[in-house]
Amino acid sequence: MKITDTGDLWWKTAIVYCLDVKTFLDWDSDGVGDFHGVAQRVDYLASLGVTCLWLMPIHPAGHSDDGYDIVDYYSVDGRLGSLGDFVEMVRVARDRGMRVILDLVVQHTSDGHPWFQDSRASVESPFRDFYVWRTDSPPERPSENAFPGAEQGVWARDDATGHYYRHQFYSHEPDLNLTNPEVRDEIAKLAGFWLELGISGFRVDAVPFLLSGEDPSEGHEELHEYLRELRAFLSRRKGDSVLLGEVNLPREDQIEYFGGDEANELTMQFDFIGMQALYLALARSDSGPVREALRGRPKLVADSQWANFVRNHDELTLDKLSDTERQEVFDAFGPEERMQAYGRGLRRRLPPMLDGDQRRIRMVYSLLFALPGTPVLFYGEEIGLGEDLDADGRLAVRTPMQWSADAPNAGFSAAAPDRLVAKVVEGRFGPENVNVEAQRQDPESLLSHINHLAHRYRECPELGWGDAEVLDLAESGVLGLLYDWEDSGMVTLHNFTDASTTVSLSLDGLPEGTLLVDLLEGGDSAVSSDGHAEVPVDGYGYRWLRITPPGSRRLR
């Protein structure tokens, strides 16, 4: 049997788990999660099947943007522990076969960062050109800002010199000037620093905005040049490191950020278009939007990969849908204004959006693992964590992890409730009904389901490495995918409707006696001599079927 040399492309079949250290587990009982807490739960994550931890920002910050307003790139937030505690946590993870990646937030800093404090002190400052300044009064264009309604544009006046600095995001987050070689050198230094401490790469924040200016389109080629420089630097320092990019752009633009056929820019990118299509498909009970999104994916070379996700740590953006489509999703899953964010997305988690319907929830996560690419989980998804709509903005989905129904504060912390970094979810999705401890003991729980999916995914290299074809099925509610890799293949089916059906498959070129072996539930379906198979699928059901020729000795 031919096996392709997969080299150091570990991320092709990884399972990525994003967590906020502050809200995961508080080990010293001060109300804030810490590195010791993460280290204590590494075995839990390993048992779940996680192979890569993505940590949201861990640096000292201004505490105005949940850690993304960084004031020191070379240290850690003291509430989380020390650098030594961080390194010990990374060691524990690596001992369990788990890699760690960090958020690389270099589009902006906090206005409290020493670079900016020096930059604003004088126009003669050596750090002046670390940021983007203008002398004349800019026009007010609120729509240019990443947070329309929260900011009146992308320029803010600085009283010290009377000049204006650019901020694509909040006014307390001035944009770094990545056209400045000195700034690029500093970013290389800080990236190299963290690689030396044992991490395996970075999730790169806000990639299209990295080179900010009066006309960002003018710096388009320079941005790609910079990404090539960064990728080359990381490859020299650590050959198997990864750059996972946040690039929410149309497909034709996204392909450029991989570096095309050279694959010399971002290693992986989140499939924002696929994620948004998923919610439209759920709202319509029709797989059509997902079929269209998958067919629209550009073909990637082997050194590039899509990262699939159901929910991330920001608002659940729907900006690539049309106004009418977005309203469909709002009507279905966020009809109240407080459930929406910036007029373009949702500040909710999946279980409350689906009203706790376990059939639909389980189908969605089956699809997450079965989509071609690498699955990314946001902490708490494995147990069906809910949201706190009383929290500000995107903090609605960054609530404490729920470990137990019996321990104080859901087992997250022994501190008094008023000292917690965030409030524990209450009500139907509170710890009384949703927690790790109870679900670990229940073979029918969502946690057990996702554990099963994760381990099956790791046994199916077709999903991470293979080519995927969207099947033309008579049933519009069912998404069918055919995977091919080396001498193995799979078919997956996911039903977006509540009606049971039988799917007719036509699979050409298979030898007589071929079976479709169910990898999730057991059993098999016969393929006729002309390649035809009839496969039943329950309402909101899902099937993972390995194409198994007669005499095959593959595990079922």
Enter the DSSP assignment of 325: H
Residue 142 has what DSSP assignment? G
Gap between the Cα atoms of 159 and 155, Å rounded: 13
DSSP secondary structure letters along 348-407: --HHHHTTT-HHHHHHHHHHHHHSSSEEEEETTGGGT----TTS-GGGGG-PPP---SSS
CB 198 within 8 A of CB 91: yes
Cα(26)–Cα(45) distance, rounded to whole angstroms? 16
Sequence-ordered alpha helix ranges (H) in 114-238: 114-121, 181-196, 220-237
Q: Give the integer Cα–Cα distance in Å for 136 and 159.
A: 13
**d(C-alpha 105, C-alpha 245), whole Å:** 11
Q: Beta-carbon neighbour count of residue 392 at 10 Å?
A: 9
Q: Establish whether 521 is a catalytic residue.
A: no
Which residue of the set 173, 205, 265, 388 is catalytic? 205
The answer for residues whose C-beta is within 8 angstroms of residue 346's C-beta and 6 or more apart is 315, 316, 318, 329, 330, 333, 334, 339, 340, 353
Q: By the 8 A CB rule, do 347 and 393 touch?
A: yes
Distance CA(162)–CA(127), nearest Å, equals 17
User: Any residues with CB less than 8 A from the CB of 431 and at least 6 apart, and which?
Assistant: 402, 403, 404, 405, 410, 411, 424, 425
* Burial group, residue 203, by CB count within 10 angstroms (0-12, 13-18, 19+): buried
Pick from 91, 78, 33: nearest CA to 403: 33
Rounded to 5 degrees, what are φ and ψ at 23?
-115, 10
Query: Which residues in 193-202 are b (16+ Cβ under 10 Å) and which e?
Result: ebbeebbbbb
Q: Cα separations (Å) of 408 from 37, 384, 385, 400? A: 16, 20, 17, 12
Q: What is the 3-state secondary structure (H, E, C) of 443-475?
A: CCCHHHHHHHHHHHHHCCHHHHHCEEEECCCCC
Residue 127 near residue 183 (C-beta atoms within 8 A)? no
* Residue the block writes with tokens 């190299």: 192
- Of 175, 246, 328, 475, which one is the catalytic site residue? 246
Q: Alpha-carbon distance 151 to 171, whole Å?
A: 7
CA atoms of 551 and 549, how far apart (whole Å): 6
Residue 225 is a catalytic residue? no
By annotation, the residues acting in catalysis are 205, 246
